[in-house]
Chains A and B, each alone.
Chain A
Amino acid sequence: MRQWFEGRWRRLVVLAAVVGPGIITANVDNDAGGITTYSLAGAIYGYRLLWTVIPVAFALFVVQEMSSRLGVVTGKGLADLMREEFGVKATFYLMVALLLTNLGNTMAEFAGLAAALEIIHVPRLVSVPIGAVLVWWLVTWGTYRAVEKVFLMASAFYVSYVISGIMAKPDWGNVLASTVTPSFDMNLTFVVMVVGIVGTTIAPWMQFYQQAAVVEKGIPTRNLREARLDVAIGSLMAVLVVWFILIACGATLHKAGIPIRNAADAAHALVPLAGQYAALLFGFGLLNASLFAAAILPLSTAYSVCEGMGWERGIDKKLQEAPWFYGIYTALITLGAAAILVPGVPLLKVLYLSQVANGILLPAVLVFMLILANRRDIMGEHVNSRTFNAVAWVLVGSLIVMTLFLSVATLLGRA
């Protein structure tokens, strides 16, 4: 009995040392863009889209588990592996697409930050520069361990959505029923919304970030199981937040028939329906998510690009040693923040372009990952199993179709 207890305890200790990358990655993808999408989905369709969280959780787990496993087994980052196995050409164009997508995403994060603080009447001319400097400072001064702790804390703040969802006093029976019964409309807006929920939850940069974080942490192959659990917990946490946002907006905005355009609108509209605090919590969640993603995105992008191209990288390097790294990192933050502040920047056009780049990038990244995870000379005994492959290829196939669809829809100006 005691032995059993000690065994349990040891596993828990090991888990605590491994936990992090999966949870952080899965949470950070509920960024400003994601929260906007979920709010809109909840406001327009009420509880009808609640069922999507189950397949999304599953897809998220399959993709992130693969990237975590690649990192643990090879000890290399994704860009590194791509460069070594697929050569400089493929890597270079992928990195250009990654830069474009993530520039757009960074702008969206700063837009989210501005919107969240405008709820409590902080003008964007104040909030955005402070946010940018804060992000820059945190990442360039902190060690990985310290930064990870801040990030894990930020992950915990997502609980604000859970609370505001409960404060919205939904009809729980109805909520649970809608979660397990899929409903579908064959019209374009509905399909775009479904694809949008999936698309904002599974983004290409997450694969790069998670694998880098796993490598940085030096998780050994014998702890593969704990790393998998980390990914599973992260995926569950992430969709739980999606679920509660859908509930919060569905129980209030949809019921009252209030149209909204973005997440900040949602927070505003919540005041009379769910009370001041629910609205504040909703806004705080948006602020947290935007800052969190704005801190990780530019860093992960600069790191991946330099890794793929073989340039010096890392926050422990001096500026003269790693000019490309700091150049890309700073440019992303500066451009991302400037786009919100400078009037006349065609923000929507940039976001469209970034959505299209995303549509090209995600299929390529997923297919490359699947090929790598099946290479016995790289993965040894940890290659994908046959069942995993069957599931993963079907999943990746549908993700590719969805993303291409979203890109085309975006280009046609329908989304």
Chain B
Amino acid sequence: MAEVARPSEEFFYLSQLLSRRVVSRDGERVGRLIDLGCAANEVFPRVLTYYVRPGLLAPVTLAVPAPAFTDVPSETLRLAVPTDGLQASPRRHPEEILLRREILDKQIVDTDGARVVRVNDVHLLRARGSEVRVVHVDIGFPGIVRRLGWERPLDRILKPVGLRARGFAEERLLSWRYVVPLRSGSLSQDLRLNVAQHQLAQLHPAELAEIMEELDRFERPAILEALDVPKAAQTLAELSPELQRLLLEALDVRRASVLLSTMAPDEAADVLEEMPERLRERLVNALPAADKATVTDLLSHEPDSAGSVMNPEVFTVAPSTTIAQVWEQLRTGPDEFVRGYSVVVVDAERRLRGVVSLADLIRADGSRAVEQAMDTDPVSVRPEDSMGDVAELFDRFNLLSLPVADPDGILRGVITVDDVVSWLREGEGREGGLT
């Protein structure tokens, strides 16, 4: 047989390889190729195992470790190993991802485009002799045309007019680096978790929430499990109430309570407020004692009242604190301290004494006490006031934040402009709107 020179590197598609006839070294029929197992933890997974089915109804599958064939890809795959060394393989390797069973025709998360796409084909690269690696997934229309077997007939028809089937729609290949497989179960396996977590962590919670909307009820919890707790909590907060309910019902109560207590209390209360009573009770009871008290308090307020929207965890200073001390606390404290662009001043009984804006703090003399720089008669509301009124105040006084105090003047919380915006957005669906 004459040796044909082959390039050292070559791209080809999974669909061109699957169902190919497999023959022994002597040319005897062994079966057909049905799947490829790859090293899931590699950036561009190497093909580790070729799975061959001896007959259409054969109950066993043969596993052939790579390099299995004298030449890949080719019309007929000739085994490079003796036939009697092949093992029937009912159990798969735990580190393996199966290209046909778990990737081809399945939905995956494209972390580059932050969306869910369907895999039309898998793009493979043969490099350095017989090593085969997964490099891309094909998510474009030409991939469908190729798999339908229309490419050649179309080319033949189009040839006289000087066109090619491929010219009509652009090939869309997505690098494997951006692929997160979704097949249920695949995310929970430890080895893949690291890879998947890393890629998912690149996405914004809002993007993750959008992706979640596309997934089914088994894939959604799997994605949430693959994220670290703060990211998972933020993502949960971004979801629609409907999906929040489905997820919180599906999640383990302990996991759910961890996520809820990681959110800001007002966010957690927002989520819980939309849940059916039974589920809400169960979740609130599972919260750590401190969070439970705060959240129960928030939930006890009428829906759409200032008390139900406010954040009860407020950064406050005493009137006698010097401006320089406030600067220091703001500089070293967490981001939440400056969420409302102002600092609330309270006395020892937590009575509201004033509010000082960040702008005034920056301009003020550091040695003076904060009470000399603050607005001593700030706009404030009571917990039972309606959010309609609150929104109006924000509009009229161009507020960024607004303290909430009870009739005795005790500070209960703060409403920030982002709370008002999300309340208004939610209300777009409500009848009547604002008056």
Contact = CB atoms under 8 A, between A and B. Distances in A.
A89 B120 contact: no
Contacts of A55: none
A88 B246 contact: no
A88 B216 contact: no
Given A75-B218, A215-B216, A84 B106 contact: yes
Contacts of B144: 88, 92, 309
B249 interface: yes
A309 B117 CA distance: 10
Interface residues of A, number: 17
Contacts of B249: 220
B368 interface: no
A74 interface: yes
Contacts, number: 40
B107 interface: yes
A310 interface: yes
A88 B120 contact: yes
A87 B105 contact: yes
Interface string A307-351: 001101000100000000000000000000000000000000000
Interface string B116-129: 01111000000000
B251 to A, nearest CB: 13
B147 A310 contact: no
Contact of A310 (B120, B216, B218): B120
Interface in A77-105: 80, 83-84, 87-89, 92
Nearest to A312: B115
Interface residues of B, number: 22
B105 A88 contact: yes
A310 B139 contact: yes
A258 B308 CA distance: 68
Given A84-B105, A88-B147, A89-B147, A310 B217 contact: no
Nearest to B218: A75
B148 interface: yes
Nearest to B121: A88
A266 B429 CA distance: 44
B84 to A, nearest CB: 30
Nearest to B214: A314
A80 B116 CA distance: 13
A20 B144 CA distance: 35
Contact of B216 (A76, A312, A316): A76
Contacts of B246: 218
A215 B218 CA distance: 11
Contacts of A76: 216
Given A87-B105, A215-B216, A310 B148 contact: no
A310 B214 CA distance: 12
A75 B147 contact: no
30 contacts: A74-B216, A75-B216, A75-B217, A75-B218, A76-B216, A80-B107, A84-B106, A87-B104, A87-B105, A88-B105, A88-B144, A88-B147, A88-B148, A89-B147, A89-B148, A92-B144, A92-B148, A218-B242, A218-B246, A220-B217, A220-B249, A220-B250, A309-B118, A309-B144, A310-B107, A310-B118, A310-B119, A310-B120, A312-B115, A316-B213
Interface of A: 74-76, 80, 83-84, 87-89, 92, 215, 218, 220, 309-310, 312, 316
| Interface pairs A-B: 5 shortest CB-CB | A310-B118, A75-B216, A75-B217, A88-B147, A218-B246
Given A87-B105, A220-B250, 4 more contacts: A80-B107, A218-B246, A309-B118, A310-B120
